[in-house]
Amino acid sequence: MDGNGRWAQQRGLSRLKGHEQGAESVRAVLRAVRQAGVRYLTLYAFSTENWIRPKDEVEGLMNLLSIFIDRHGKELLENKIRLRVMGQFDRLPRTVQKKLAQLMEKSAENYEYTLILALSYGSRLEIADAAKAIARKTARGELDPETVTEETVANHLYLPDVPDPELMIRTSGELRLSNFLLWQLSYAELYVTDVFWPDFREKEFFQALEVFGRRGRRYGGVVTK
């Protein structure tokens, strides 16, 4: 969800104001997701690299996350949206951990839609953690290393039951993956827009879906449509 800081800078506002406006885009996209019938939405909310940002900005982001849960947690439950988190959960402030855990527990039976927040997340770390888990199993004799396959690795990622993304939307014109779902995005369609995240609303989301719908997805084979 890129462009919060630049959106604010263009308006002479603090970066935190850009993040606040970005939170409203989250609500807008969640509405669009339900309307379009998209079952899984993963938002890259905070990366492992984001910890190096100024302390006041990091604290402000964590506070915004806490406020968002307080204000809109009930809305998620009412709209049958299950909340899940991927990343270094234990690095988050304890108050945020508690609120997230409570909302995840309350929404656990909501299977119509799933919102995944990538928090203190880095894809290289995720893959490394999967490799360590596999290595521990082989060391204990629970797994023969000769039987390790792509499926084995996938089953040791943070959320192995979640299907691979079909579409990745990158806002603010950024043309890189930024350590996001490197394994899972292998065959995802990429959509890049110059729109900053705080201005990304339902209209922009449906435009991305329209472009996605025109893509011929080959998976290494031949286009069938």
- Annotated catalytic sites, by residue? 2, 50
Other residues' Cβ atoms within 10 Å of the Cβ of residue 189: 18
- Do 221 and 200 meet the contact criterion of CB atoms below 8 Å apart? no
Q: Token pair for residue 106?
A: 């309350």
Burial grade of 106 (CB within 10 A; 0-12, 13-18, 19 or more): middle
Strand partners, 189: 167
> Could you give the C-alpha distances from 179 to 32, 50, 76, 121, in angstroms and in order?
26, 12, 28, 9
Query: d(Cα 208, Cα 112) in Å, to the nearest integer?
Result: 22
Mutual orientation of helices 15-36 and 202-213 as an angle, nearest 10°? 50
H-assigned helices in the chain: 4-10, 15-36, 55-78, 94-106, 123-139, 150-154, 202-213
Query: d(Cα 100, Cα 39) in Å, to the nearest integer?
Result: 20
Give the three-state DSSP class for 220: coil
